[in-house]
Amino acid sequence: MLPPTGLSNLPMIDDKIVTIERFLLDTQPESATGELTAIFYDLAVAGKIIGAQTRRAGLLDMLGLAGQTNVQGESQQKLDLLADEVIVRLNDHTGRLAAMVTEERKDWVRIPEGYKKGHYVLVYDPLDGSSNIDTNISIGTIFGIYRVLDKENPGRLEDCLQPGRDLVAAGYIFYGTSTMLVYSAGKGVHSFTLEPSMGEFLLSKENIRIPEKPAYYSVNHSAGRTWCKEMDNYISWLRDEYEPALSFRYIGSLVADFHRNLLHGGVFAYPATPAKPNGKIRLLYEAAPLAYLAEQAGGYGSDGKQRILDIVPTELHQRTPVFIGNRDLVEKAEELLKNC
């Protein structure tokens, strides 16, 4: 049945319009306190603010470098700093979090004096792919949520250094042709699209599964001159042998590359090279949340030797090689890269 005129341009599931708030409330377990739901809701608000600022960046002269470098030694774009500030200020006083880890700050973020510490830890990359901002390419916010290890003593470094298998939830907000929030809390992956005139995230896809037949492989080929020969073999297998033939697509903005491969099937690879022995992608707030989403959608994430979700971080800003996407494509990387 066609929806009544005027509604046809709104995302609907089974003829229903479902807001993110409604979905979160309806899907939380009966025993839930509502704390996690509230954190999601605040992240959705952060997505609206960051999305709006991203769209206005050109007008407001926010595209340029902020003149500082972050903990990885990379230039910080003004929008990186703004996005980071938005997330901290939305979350540090709510009593739901005990700590935060962000790409933009060397140390983990404490809850300010005078505010209650909650039972969750938020790890995030406020604006991934930010070197693409000045060319108007899609970028995103990646996040993961952990429970504190000890409710009686919340907010310690140990709470921040947990393996991805202990994630309670993870997701990303994608600032593309539309703003989307994609998340999983352990029961499938769901996406919400921001309806810009109303400012509401509406459910656009429930239970996303990576298609069994993948369409794409994504890797920065220019790094190929220094790959080990096993990596060359893997890329040849993807490019020349895999059936059905895969197309090569690489944006260089992780959320955008991951999102495309989630919907159409494929693998995103950022392997180790002699210059970058641990690759480039950060374990805690990039690789682990995306590997969690991939597994929730029927895929898999590996560092080439082991499951990403089993890696226990020893440092907040640790990097890891990544292979994330369809299980068969990632397992082939593990098979071929054993001795790399």
What crossing angle do the helices spanning 78-91 and 35-60 adopt, rounded to 10°? 150
List 19, 27, 94, 131, residue binding ligand AFP (CB under 6 A): 131
Residue 196 or 252: which CB sits closer to ligand AFP?
A: 252
Count of positions on this chain that bind ligand AFP (CB under 6 A): 12
Number of H helices, E strands in the chain: 8, 14
Quick one: which of 127, 128, 79 has its CA closest to 252? Answer: 128
Cα 81 from Cα 68, distance rounded (Å): 10
Among 190, 259, 280, 319, binds ligand AFP (CB under 6 A): 280
Q: Taking CB under 6 A as the rule, does residue 130 contact ligand AFP?
A: yes
Name which of 201 and 268 has its Cβ closer to ligand AFP.
268
Strand residues in 138-277 grouped as ranges (E): 139-147, 169-175, 179-184, 189-195, 200-205, 216-218, 247-248, 266-270
Strand partners, 248: 217
Q: Binding segment for ligand AFP among 35-43, 91-99, 123-131, 191-199 (CB under 6 A)?
A: 123-131
Residue 275, C-beta contacts closer than 8 angstroms, at least 6 positions apart: 226
x/- mask, ligand AFP, residues 177-216, rule CB under 6 A, reads ----------------------------------------
134 binds ligand AFP, rule: CB under 6 A: no
To ligand AFP, the closest distance from the beta carbon of 222 in angstroms equals 8
Residue 254 touching ligand AFP (CB under 6 A) = yes
DSSP secondary structure letters along 232-245: HHHHHIIIII-SSP
> Which residues make up the interface to ligand AFP (CB under 6 A)?
74, 128-132, 220, 252-254, 257, 280
